[in-house]
Amino acid sequence: MSASASEIAPARRNALAVRAGTWWTILRIALEERLVYRGDFMLATMMRFLPVITQIFLWSAVFATAPKSGSASGGGNGATTIAGFTFANMIAYYLLAMIGRAFSSMPGLASGIARDIRDGTLKKYLIQPIDMIGFLLLQRLAHKLVYYLVATLPFALVFYLCRGYFETGWPDAGTFLAFVASLIMGFFLGFFLEASIGMIGFWFLEVSSLFFIYMLFSFFLSGQMFPLSMLDKFTAVGSITLGDIVRAMPLQYFAYFPAAVFLGKIQGARLITGLLIEVGWLMFFIVVCRLAFNRGLRRYSAFGG
């Protein structure tokens, strides 16, 4: 005898409640673990800002020797722009880019997935009712939540000391919401992109070289090293610049895009288009990650205890 619709609906709700409870338990345990052994985050975060001091000296020298632009008098760095950035803009950009990279970076994710596949420890996800991708995502979410919980004070201190470099001040509500949205999507984009790279371990025993190449390109093409608008003066094909090509890649959303949004360098239609493209890249890598995992399981084999 088939079950009626009135019987199926409560069963589905119960199943969803059980699943939600399982994921909440995993997230809670991951948070507790990281709160115990991540007490060094505060000091480590302060140390990560030290390279900004080097950037201040470096770009101070660059702007001092660059030709003055505009009709501003009084000289100084304020009258000089490079790729649309003043000296103060440039330092503020590096501070904001560090926030973007803190959201999107996933250290050890791809190599960990590939290692689980190679060593056969992937079996633990196959014999237990836990989805591997969802489990790893919750772990990374817990990692980021704890990181920013502990690192709030160092971030606030550094940004207070460097407040003079933010010439445009605090952005309006719409710009700030777009900035926050780009950071959140950058986290998920970084996770699914690197998880997709880790899935290559189903087909190759060693992916460390591929991941090194990815990290190298990511360092340069995400805007972590310099604003990507500096590449606009290099023509690639016709009227298309090298900057246009690099900004068409998903890597810009890890550092350049959120920083440029906060500083008001990307506004209006360009801002909306950029956010929609980021959503598109995120959906693309979610699908790629899932397909790679499902297809990889078809050819996966493991033995031993």
**C-alpha 79: how far from chain center:** 33
pLDDT recorded at residue 189: 96
**More confident: 58 or 190:** 190
Residue 262 in contact with residue 95, Cβ under 8 Å? no
Tens digits of per-residue pLDDT, 107-158?
Answer: 889 889 988 888 888 888 888 778 899 989 998 998 888 888 777 877 888 8
DSSP state of 200: G
DSSP 118-152: HHSTTHHHHSSS--HHHHHHHHHHHHHHHHHHHHH
Q: Is residue 163 part of a domain?
A: yes
pLDDT above 90 as % of the chain: 29
Model pLDDT for residues 68-86, shown as the tens digit of each residue: 654 443 344 445 788 888 8
**Residue 119 and residue 14 share a domain:** no
Question: Is residue 11 located within the same domain as residue 114?
Answer: no
How far from each other are the two terminal CA atoms of the chain, in whole angstroms?
43
* Beta pairing, strands 235-237 & 240-241: antiparallel
State which residues form the domain around 277: 88-299
Q: What is the mean pLDDT of residues 2-18?
A: 67
* Listed residue (254, 256, 240) closest to 285, CA to CA: 254
Same domain, 23 and 122: no
Same domain, 131 and 20: no
Tokens of 75: 């000289």
Q: Are 285 and 193 in contact (CB under 8 A)?
A: yes
**Same-domain check for residues 107 and 27:** no
d(CA 232, CA 241): 5
Please report the pLDDT score of residue 69 as a whole number.
55
Evaluate whether residue 253 is within a structural domain.
yes
From the list 261, 252, 111, the residue with the least C-alpha distance to 175 is 261
Same domain, 138 and 244: yes
pLDDT given at position 289: 95
Same domain, residue pair 154 and 21? no
d(CA 134, CA 117): 16
Angle at 89 between CA 86 and CA 90, to 5 degrees: 90
Considering only residues 69 and 167, tell me which one the structure prediction assigns the higher pLDDT: 167
- Which residue, chain included where needed, has tokens 């360092």? 219
Q: Number of structural domains, the chain?
A: 2
Comparing CA positions, the residue from 214, 222, 186, 219 lying closest to residue 198 is 214
Residue 230 lies inside a defined structural domain of this protein:
yes
Place 51 in a pLDDT band, splitting at 50, 70 and 90: confident
Note the pTM of the prediction, 2 decimals: 0.81
